[in-house]
Amino acid sequence: MRSRGKRYINDFKKMLMEVYNSGKPVIELCSEYGVTSATLYKLTVVALYSIGGINYSSYFSRILEKC
């Protein structure tokens, strides 16, 4: 049977997004909280689609600058 990977609780995801939105670099977040940059990127995409009215192009450019 195939592994489904790590599962994170919603409170942890929300906390990661709050820290990310405060301006902390992706590399620091990944090393401090033990998540991959791909996981963090996926969380930001999910957060974007759950919140309406965000300028997606500027948000994604910010993500790419941090990588």
Residues 46-58: pLDDT tens digits? 776 665 555 555 6
Tell me how far apart the 2 most distant CA atoms of the chain are, in Å: 40
pLDDT at 14 (0 to 100): 83
Residue 61 has pLDDT above 80, yes or no: no
Quick one: tokens of 26?
A: 């992706």
pLDDT at 3 (0 to 100): 61
Residue carrying structure tokens 């963090």:
40
Quick one: tokens of 29?
A: 């977040």
Quick one: tokens of 64?
A: 């790419």
Residue carrying structure tokens 């977040």:
29
Which three-class secondary structure state does DSSP give residue 3?
Answer: coil
Residues 1-40: pLDDT tens digits? 566 667 788 888 888 888 888 888 888 989 999 998 888 8
Q: Which of 34, 32, 22 is CA-nearest to residue 62?
A: 22
